[in-house]
Amino acid sequence: MDSMPFNASLRDRKTHMIPRKEFLKQKARELRKDMTDAERVLWSKLRLKQVNGLQFYRQKVIGNYIVDFYCHKAKMVIEVDGGQHYETEGLKKDRIRDEYFKKQGLRVLRFTDLNVLKNIDGVLKEIYKYIEFRFIESP
């Protein structure tokens, strides 16, 4: 999925061609309905502007990618990574994604799912630290 051009089309279950952007939107909707336990825990802390009054979005389409969480004002992407992200192929894909986001002016914060589940206060502390840095550096 990550290597296909943005304007490429994909077949849905009924074999109708659908534009890539619409496919990603549909996939994001599905992911929002089927969040991991770690994503649910973090979302419960990010939603409803609980973090410095900032609006976060979950399973947001950015370019050819769907990110776990996104805050436009802070120019921040938050990814909650499961075990597949630490295998060779997962690490390679993450580097490519992170480089794309960096070129878009976005900062990616990555946390393991285990860290979110066992240390949510520490995860939130890192998020607050980045936000504080972001707004001190570029008001």
> Residue 85 has what pLDDT?
58
β-pair type (76-81, 57-62): unpaired
Confidence of residue 88 (pLDDT cuts 50, 70, 90): confident
Q: What is the mean pLDDT of the chain?
A: 86
Confidence of residue 20 (pLDDT cuts 50, 70, 90): confident
Report the CATH superfamily, name and number, of domain 35-137. Answer: VSR Endonuclease (3.40.960.10)
> Residue 76 has what pLDDT?
97
pTM of structure: 0.82
**Residue that wins the pLDDT comparison between 14 and 4:** 14
Sorted by sequence, the CB contacts under 8 Å of residue 60 that are 6+ apart come out as 28, 66, 67, 69, 70
Q: Which of 107, 110, 122, 48 is nearest to 73 (CA)?
A: 107
Q: Are 137 and 96 in contact (CB under 8 A)?
A: no
